[in-house]
Structure formats: structure tokens, C-alpha cells
Chains A and B, each alone.
Chain A
Amino acid sequence: MFKNNLSQVYAWLLITPALILMGLFTHIPSFTTLISSFFSTGTKKFPSKFIGFENYELALDDPIFLEAVLNNLWYAVATIIPSVFLAILMALFVDSKIKGRVLVRMAYFTPTILPMIAVSNIWLFFYTPEIGLIDQIAINLGFGSQNWLGDKETVLNCLILITIWKEAGFFMIFYLAALQNIPPELKEAAKIEGASKYYFFRRITFPLLMPITLFVVINATLNSFKLVDHLFILTKGGPDNASNLILYYIYESAFSFLDSSYAATLTVILLLILAIVSIVQFVLFDKRIHYR
């Protein structure tokens, strides 16, 4: 009995540091966010008071927020699918026996190492009208100048392109590791049976990569809602909110408009969206995954 108690104490002691950190920086803030979303933002004249779901009603009627949500959904879909696709292609390429593959691997991985702020500055130089790289080439080829980041039609897709460029190399590393875990005999066995490269990929390689794909897709989804650093440098959500994303709007609400309870409300909504998306992905993938 005594011994059992002691091991209980040890167990608690061992998880305490993690528990404290998680509590201080994750669970308590989440909880207080949830609480404050039900209160109004206090000022000197009007102290904070309980207002129930009023903030939520406000959010659902807020055209800027709704636009940010729609933007973000498109942003997620349009970054995840191409970057996963590219990551697999690049991984297959650098997994094959090509000359200088170490260099190629490094080149593919470089965008991942760069901080998003630096990346934004690089791409700002590409996108700048008339003197930017893209426009210089376009003008020399006889096309007109285009304000890539200043045009409501193009701005979001320009940001999407940057994100794909940055993330695909990161995801490639996971796929590469997984590919190298597939025993080469499988390929040989299939080769003897006469399976083409494409057939082998479709029936063997891709299914065996499914656990990685789940991991990557969930990460990419979270990133597409989390990663807004480039907005600060490139567009600040403009023009006319055409590139506004949820997290950036939350930041603006809290620190530019100083409406912290409204920001808390939007945060809770964002958490809900992410939780639902993740659960759906797990359930969808789970049936198709073979874990070794």
C-alpha cells in the first residue's frame, strides 16, 4: 500500500512540470478566453459585464469577419492540396538515385528554414509593381504592369503561392523519411510481377504513406489558420480585407481596435473550427490508414 502510494507521488512529481507549463500557457488562457468572450470589453466608464452570446451574434453579423473566414477557407484548401502534392513529388524525386540529390534536398528544404518575415521580404521584391522581379520580366516580355498585392483579385492567391513555396519543402522531409522506410524488396517484388511505376505508387507507395499524409494535412490545416506573419509585411489584410485571415483579424480586433472580448470571441470560434476540421480529418483518414 505504502509502496503504491509512493509511486503515485513519483508519477505526479514527474508530470508536474509539464502540467504547470501546459496549464499556464495553454489551458488557463483558453479557459479565460472562453470566459471573457461572454463579457463586454471594459472601459473606465462602462466596466466589463456579462452579456451572454451577444459577442457571438455580433461576430456572425460582422461582414469583415465572415470575409476573413471565407478567405481563410480558400486559403487552407488552396495551400494544403498543392503543397502536399508537391511534397510527395519532390520526395519521390529526391528519393530516386539522381546525381547531386543532397544538394537538391537542401534546396527544397531551404524555404522552411527561413523565417516567414524574411520570406515575405523576398516575395515583396518579386511582387512589387514595375520594379519587382515578376513585373520586370513581364514588362520585358511585352505584358503590362500588374499590382499583384494591390489588386483584390490577385492578392490572396499571391499569398497562397508564398505559403505553398514555404511549406512544401517542410512536408517533403516527412515523406522522404517515410519513403526510405519502405523496404526496397517491395518495389522489386512488384517489378517482377510487371507493375508499372505508376501502378506501384498507386497501390503500394501511396497507401503506405497515408499515416504521413494525415499528419501533414492536419499540420498544414493548422498552419493555414495559424501562420499570418506574412500579412504584417505584405498586405496588412488589404486591400479592402481581400487578404484578411481570421487570426490577423483577431489580432487587429485585440490590439488595433482594443476590443479584447470580441477578439476572445473570435478566438473561441477559430478553436471550434479547428477542432471540427481535425476530428473530421482523423475520422475520414482512419479507415484508409495502415499503421505499421
Chain B
Amino acid sequence: MNLKKTILQIIRGTGAKEEQATLNVWKDEAEESLKALKEMQYIDELSPMLHNYQDVNTQKAWTKIHGQEQITSRRGNTDFRKIAAIFLVFIGAVSLFYLAKTTNSTSENLVYDGNKTQSVQLADGSDITIEKNSILTSKGYRDVTLDGNAYFDIAKNPEKTFSVTIHGGKVIVLGTEFRINTSKERTSISVTEGKVKVIFSSKEFALTAGQFLVLSSNEQAFITEHDITPSHWKSNILVFENKSLKHVMENIAAYYDYRLEWPSTNEPDACKINTRFDDETLEQVMSELEILAGISFEISGKTIVIKSFKC
């Protein structure tokens, strides 16, 4: 298209209809780019103010101010509450101590549940981190039942396996690290160290470090690879350097405990992802990948469906 000629024709009112349409598209596009340009210019001009910008720990500050604000706003009966609280903590500590003592000898039918994440150390040296609203029942020596989400770091004992009863099955290990999230509808197991045997509705699975298994009664079992380690869950930070999009997605799915559906086309995954997710929700992570890798996706239930991507 000869732009000058077209513009002249339109000014004179002699332009063809379709030429006018083309020009309108061009004008809209130009306005859009101008807007983009102005916005980028604004970022560019504002950014030097970031010189010497300070990071602070908002969460820590909130905890601090939160405590003070409650004390000052309820000054009248603070003392009573404080005494009661200290007394309760004391009773709690004594009973815990008593419980711990009895555990060593019998370790039977101990139940852990509660409204916050807690760490439990078993008599055999194993560590179990039980997430909020999850229930762990100890049925005997190295024999527990789980409902909910827990992370296991099991001490090695070649003589006696450690078993976790889950909804619809059982997980058996000698000594290893893994995570289980189990409910009536769905169970997922993620292994970070060693080997794990899983029995689920008369099927057996052998998992090794770096594998993530999703089980449910109405869907096919799903296994994928990842390199999520306990430190990721503890620090809430995921870092990817020069990794393929598929690798990134597999890790994200395992981290957030989702099943991943990758497009069935054999399109090569040429993306090289360099990024860092710092304590972000799945929604935030996905919207960033939308920008970085042009993925289009859908989250239905506990499944992430990748429809397409472009890089």
C-alpha cells in the first residue's frame, strides 16, 4: 500500500472503502503502540528512583505490630489473659512431655492434628512435618495412617519397613524422604530421596527420587519427573535457569501438587526459561509464564492443561 497516496485520497474524499479500512487499522495500531511506548517511557523515567530502594520484611513487621495492637486495644483484661495463656502453655508443655515419654515405650495410637503445620519426631529418629488440617495417626512402631498432607523424612531401618496407610492404599519404605497428600478423592506422592513402594487398589508402583505420582479412583495413575526438594517447600522459592518449558511446568505441577497435561502435538519445546518464583501462588506463576513463554492454559480441578505455547 502506498500510504502517502492513500492518506491523500482519504483527505480528498476519493479513497476506496477498503483503503480507508486499512488506514483505520493502521491508525488503531499506531495508537496502541503509542500507548505502549508512553507506558514504557514512564517506567523508564520512574525507575531511577529505585536507586537505594530498600527491601523490608513486611510479614515480620506485621507480626510485630499485630501483637502490639492487640495488647493496646485490650488493655483492660490483658493481665488475666496473659496469665491464662502462660498457664495453658505450661499445662500443654507438661502434657506433651508426658505424652512424649509414653510414646517412646508404647508409641501406640498417637494422633496429631491441628490448625497449624507441626513437626513430629518419632522414636526411631524419623521426622514428619504435618501440614495444617491434616491428621496423622500412629498405629504402632513405624506404622502410621495419614489423612491430608505431610512430609516424611524416614530414618533407615533395614529390619523394619515404615508404612503409611493412605486413602485406598499403602506406602511402604525402608528409609527415605517423600511427601504424601491424601484425601478420599485423590492422593499424590512425591519422592525426593530413596525408593518408595506404593500399593493402590491392587496395583503396585515403585517410585524413585524425583518422581511424582498422582492416584485417584476414577483416573489413570500419572507419573512425572521433577527436581523439587524439601528445601523448595521450606523456602517457597523456585529457580529455573535455562530450562525447557516442559521441565519448568513439570516442576511447577509437582510443587503445587497438580497433574499436568502437555499438548499431544510433537511441537519441539525450544523455550529457555530463566526465572524465579518467590512464594507465589499458582495463578501468579501461570500468568508470568503467559508472558514469558506465551502459554495458553486451563486449570480444571487439580489438573493444569497446557493448550499451546510459543517461544
Q: Do A and B come from one complex?
A: no
List residues of chain B with CB under 8 Å of any chain A CB: none
